[in-house]
Amino acid sequence: MKSHTLLYLWLMAVCLMAGCAKGTEPVEEDSIKLLGNREILLGADGGKVEISFESSGAWKVSVDAASASLCTVHNSSGAAGTVVTGLTVYQNGSYDPRTILVTIACGNASETVAIIQAQMDAIIIAKDTYEVDYGEGRIELNVNANVDFTVESGADWISPEIQKSSKALENRLLVLKVEENTSFVPREGTVLLKYGELEQKIKIVQAAGVFDPGQLTGRMQIAIVHSETVFPPLLFEGDDITGVVFWGDGTQSLWDEGHTFGTEGEKETVFEISGADSFRIEALHSISSITIGL
């Protein structure tokens, strides 16, 4: 009888142990494991982005509310396993970068991937041509840009200065220092604002210098070798100005008249002037040389 009791107790113990062991079996937890970077960089043009992960169970993909209109999620849910899902991100037409937060969830587990999209690069100026007097001076103009652009002068008489640039679209002051034009011919120069393939060109047109013979009197002779087809009058200043112009094509006129040539090519025009104490040349761009005699 005693042995039967011991056997019974032993069987009870075994059953209890088995029951306890069954009740303590571990429960698999929800998990998401990213197989790529948590941050993905994307250009302003947008495009397709792939996100890889491992999920222990059914999963869902969502984007933050602010980014819902910026992209399309191709596969928003699925079963456990190794997954590659994708999004199409639209073009960023703004001048600021933006971030799209993508959340992958499996039960109570989740991971977030940030897609950082670049801004649309821009260098914006109000006007691209400036006309200035012949004297030394400076041009101040505003530039809106969100890139670190460089400033290159195409003329040794134009010196650019600009405030330090930044990544946000903002207004910056560009100063162009212009030297005096000591020649008697108008001149043009360019300044190039450049970032990669993005360029903005600014043209500076400076008036011709002024010839001033001072106290000298008498006849002034001005010989201009040029290739102009339309020659406007020179701008003389003085009292009781008289004179004649020999245009170089067999014709002549009074000193204050212009001329249209019937043929192209280089020619020499000579001004014989009295009573002038200064003159200027404007709107001529094909001059080879100027000789002034008194």
CATH of the domain at 173: 2.60.40.10
Please give the residue range of the domain that contains residue 225. Answer: 219-293
Mean residue pLDDT across the chain: 84
Listed residues 117, 146, 172: the one ending a domain: 117
Listed residues 96, 117, 138: the one ending a domain: 117
Q: Are 155 and 91 contained in the same domain?
A: no
Q: Are 247 and 184 contained in the same domain?
A: no
| Count: domains in the chain | 3
Q: Are 244 and 188 contained in the same domain?
A: no
Listed residues 206, 231, 249: the one ending a domain: 206
Strand ranges of the sheet holding 39-42, from the earlier edge strand across to the other edge: 39-42, 109-117, 98-106, 59-63, 77-78
Cα–Cα distance for residue pair 163/22, rounded to 1 Å: 74
Q: Is residue 67 part of a domain?
A: yes
Strand ranges of the sheet holding 170-178, from the earlier edge strand across to the other edge: 123-125, 137-145, 170-178, 158-162
Q: Are 233 and 271 contained in the same domain?
A: yes
Q: Is residue 69 part of a domain?
A: yes
pLDDT of residue 15: 53
Q: Are 170 and 104 contained in the same domain?
A: no
Element (H, E) at 19: helix 2-23
Q: Is residue 25 part of a domain?
A: no
Buried b (16+ CB within 10 A) or exposed e, 49-68: bebebebbeebebbbeeebe
Q: Is residue 21 part of a domain?
A: no
Q: Is residue 16 part of a domain?
A: no
Q: Are 64 and 128 contained in the same domain?
A: no
Q: Are 191 and 151 in contact (CB under 8 A)?
A: yes
Q: Are 149 and 182 contained in the same domain?
A: yes
What phi and psi, each to the nearest 5 degrees, are found at residue 62?
-145, 160
The one-digit pLDDT tens for each residue of the chain (294 residues) are 455 555 555 556 555 555 544 555 566 788 999 998 999 999 889 999 999 999 999 999 999 999 999 999 998 999 999 999 999 999 998 888 899 999 999 999 999 999 999 888 888 888 899 999 989 999 998 888 888 888 999 999 999 987 655 455 677 889 999 999 877 678 899 999 998 888 999 999 998 776 554 444 567 889 999 999 999 999 888 888 888 899 999 888 888 889 999 988 999 999 988 888 888 887 777 888 898 886
Cα–Cα distance for residue pair 146/96, rounded to 1 Å: 8
pLDDT of residue 168: 57
Cα–Cα distance for residue pair 241/243, rounded to 1 Å: 7
pLDDT of residue 216: 41
Cα–Cα distance for residue pair 185/68, rounded to 1 Å: 61
pLDDT of residue 163: 60
pLDDT of residue 132: 93
- N- to C-terminal Cα distance for the chain? 151
Q: Are 199 and 141 contained in the same domain?
A: yes
Q: Are 224 and 259 contained in the same domain?
A: yes
Q: Is residue 1 part of a domain?
A: no
Q: Is residue 27 part of a domain?
A: no
Q: Are 172 and 249 contained in the same domain?
A: no
